[in-house]
Amino acid sequence: MVRIHAAVSDVGALDGLASQDSPIHRLDPRAKIAVTAMFLAAVVSFPKYEIAEMMPLFLYPAVLSAVGQVPAKTLLRYLLLASPFALLVGVFNPLLDREVVVHWGSWAVTGGWLSFFSILIRFVLTVSAALLLLACTGYVSVCAALNRFGAPRLLTMQFLMLYRFIFILSDEASRMVRAHGLRSGSGRKPTLRVWGSLAGHLLLRAYDRGLRVHAAMLARGFDGTLHPPRAFRWRWADSLFVAGCALFLALVRFGHVAERLGAWVLRVSG
Amino acid sequence: MHMADALISPAVGGTMWAASLGLAAYSARKLKPEIAERKVPLMGVIGAFVFAAQMINFAIPMTGSSGHLGGGMILAILLGPHAGFLVMFSILAVQALFFADGGLLALGCNVFNLGFWPCFVVYPLVFKRIVGEKPGQGRVLAGALVSGILSLQLGAFGVVLQTVVSGISELPFGVFLLFMQPVHLAIGVVEGVVTAALASFVWKARPEVIELADDSKATGSASMKPILLGFAVATIITGGLLSWFASAHPDGLEWSMFKTSGQEELDMPDRGVHSSLADIQERTAFLPDYGFAESEGAAGSDETGGGATAEEPDEQDDEKWPAVSGGTSLSGLVGGGMVLLIAGLVGVSLRLIKKRRQ
């Protein structure tokens, strides 16, 4: 229960960030979705042992989070909370791929460690890109933009409904937990049997409330169209943003930026 | 068992996205608008419920690992396969967006693993057959148990397959399979029991839900073929093109390793710090490595002779894939570290400027 509560308040917090105003927030959601997609594609298209050449990509989350006023703490928190699945699977790489690939001084580095660090970098980059998209755009706007891109209306409506109903469900749940606490005295944890009954009734109560909410929405003229807080308007800034990011990503992906910079620095310092 | 962006290749991610989008378009078409309208609240509530259930991780006895429920079966049973699939899509999208659970690129994979199998394979072929026309308590339990286990097994198998095909993780197919399948067998049993309990509870309390779930009389089967065909073609093209692209360009990255690190640095005069740096670099360039294993002997003898012929293996490296890219050489590391530093500095200074302005 505690974890779900924390999750729901996290959802609220992210949407709060999305309601701020910044040059990134003012961009058209479609531009941000397109750039996020390109960014993700660029990250995962690097070969599996790559580390150094991915580093320039960190510029994107660094700039976006700074300009878009997303606190670094929030990003870090999400990174830590995010699914450990990638780490769980990645951690086997050093154990399985033991072939020595490079020597750094007297230190032999196996391919497994390289690919493990590569996975870590991919993880950080992709997770922060996804969170930044949401924190700088807002859920409703993302859904509406997906609609514009041609996603089925029923699907985007379901996206929106699910989002609303998560709050409804969590409200109902906290009421039931409080009621149970008040009636059973403090410290008594509900037994499995009670849990089952609570869960079932939670579903029914949330359903009833959902019916009322839906009826109220229909009564106020809801027809499935999403109304994002900012109207869609493609401006010059959006084209510039998309083109600039595309150029940057292409440069990083194919331009060997880190390699060249390092070679240059070594030559100058030598 | 959410797939993560960090573990998949663009080919796998793109292919699964195309497949999942196709299925979503198909499901949206299949739902009658008037039924969908009535289903909306239920879809929202059950979706939120499954969303919450997926957040609860429970320990699996004796394995020391934990897992969470999939929930695809309960969606299919209470909402029908088409609405169920759409709801699963929305659940995973919210998780990917808000919690980075799974990833945006991996969303296609996750939707396929957790939505396609229970809704379009197990529900019609297994659950419906076992439960039959009149759902009794025992039949529902048996059906939910079998289909819960089956759908999670198929989903876990999907995860293994996608991970191995992507080739980012080193886990061999067999080992990963032996790890994933038993774990999801345990989860499947729990899932089956929970599904059966919930389904019979809801049916008893709100019998009208059964009628809502039945979308077998759905509309528009004739117009579906072109859409499905289109997406099948798109899936194949995406997968084929991307994987061809991935292997046909085994990396222009290698050239830089020798072009930059090999030639220029090794000719440097031997003095002080730089000579030792160059020494390291020399070794970096020559020592065993996937792409250059063959030339190792020749390179080794050259090295003792003075090591100025670094570009020699250069010609041979293009056909070996996957080869280690230039990013592991010293200059790559130095450059990468510097760029990272620059990125951090840019971020921090932008923040400072922002703060000062306020």
Q: Which residues of B touch A114 (CB under 8 A)?
A: 324, 328
**Cβ of residue B342 closer than 8 Å to a chain A Cβ:** yes
Could you give the dihedral angle defined by the CA atoms of residues B131, B136, B141 and B147, in that order, rounded to the nearest 10 degrees?
Answer: 10
Q: Which contiguous run of DSSP H or E holds residue B59?
A: strand B58-60
Distances (CA, A) of B337 to A88, A111, A128, B136, B251: 26, 19, 19, 64, 21
Domain ranges across chain A: 1-151+233-265, 152-225
Whether B35 contacts B219, CB under 8 Å: no
pLDDT value of residue A35:
95
CATH architecture of B5-248: Orthogonal Bundle (1.10)
The minimum CA-CA distance between A184 and chain B, rounded to whole Å, is 24
Dump strand ranges (E) for chain A. Answer: 100-104, 107-110
ipTM score here?
A: 0.81
Contact status, residue A158 vs residue B47, Cβ threshold 8 Å: yes
Per-residue pLDDT of chain A (270 residues; tens, 9 = 90+): 555 666 667 777 888 888 888 889 899 999 999 999 999 989 988 887 888 888 899 999 999 999 988 888 888 887 877 656 667 767 777 777 777 777 776 777 787 888 888 888 888 898 889 889 988 988 888 888 988 888 888 888 888 888 888 888 888 888 888 888 888 776 667 677 777 778 888 888 888 888 888 889 889 888 777 777 777 888 899 999 999 999 999 998 888 888 888 888 888 887
Q: Which of A164, A180, A176, A167 is nearest to A205 (CA)?
A: A176
Of the candidates A48, A103, A258, the beta carbon closest to that of B335 is on A258
Are B44 and A142 inside 8 Å of each other by CB? no
CA B240, A148, B46: angle at the middle one, nearest 5? 85
Write down the residue that tokens 């198909």 correspond to.
B26
Query: What is d(CA B53, CA B70) in angstroms, rounded to the nearest whole number?
Result: 8
Residue count (chain B) = 358
pLDDT in tens, B316-357: 444 444 444 444 567 777 777 777 888 888 888 888 887 787
* Contact call for residues A136 and B350 (beta carbons, < 8 A): no
DSSP H or E run through B282: helix B272-286
CB proximity B232 to A under 8 Å: no
Residue B186 phi, psi dihedral angles, 5° rounding: -65, -45
Task: Determine the residue of chain B that is closest to A114 in CA distance.
Answer: B328
Asked if A44 reaches chain B (Cβ–Cβ under 8 Å), the answer is yes
- To the nearest whole angstrom, how far is the Cα of B13 from the nearest Cα of chain A? 9
pLDDT tens profile B47-98: 888 888 777 666 555 444 556 778 889 899 888 888 899 999 998 888 887 7
Q: Give the nearest chain A residue to B55 (CA atoms).
A: A4
**Which residues between 274 and 293 in chain B have a beta carbon less than 8 angstroms from any beta carbon of chain A?**
274, 277-278, 280, 283-284, 287-290
**One-letter amino acid of B336:** G
Higher pLDDT, A108 or B100: A108
Question: Which has the closest alpha carbon to B43: B83, B76, B72?
Answer: B83
Q: Using alpha carbons, select from A22, A40, A35, A27 the residue that is nearest to residue A245.
A: A35
Q: B34, B43, B78, B168: best mutation site toward chain A, by most A Cβ within 10 Å? A: B168
Q: What is the C-alpha separation between B38 and A220, in angstroms, rounded?
A: 16
- Tell me how crowded residue A123 is: count the other CB atoms within 10 A of its CB: 25
Cα–Cα distance measured from residue B162 to residue B9, given in angstroms and rounded to the nearest whole number = 9
Cβ of A232 under 8 Å from any chain B Cβ? Answer: no
Q: In the prediction, which pLDDT does B325 show?
A: 44
**pTM to 2 decimals?**
0.75
Highest mean pLDDT among A54-68, B202-216, B252-266, B304-318: A54-68
Burial of B248 (0-12, 13-18, 19+ CB in 10 A): exposed
Q: Encoding tokens for residue B162?
A: 């996608």
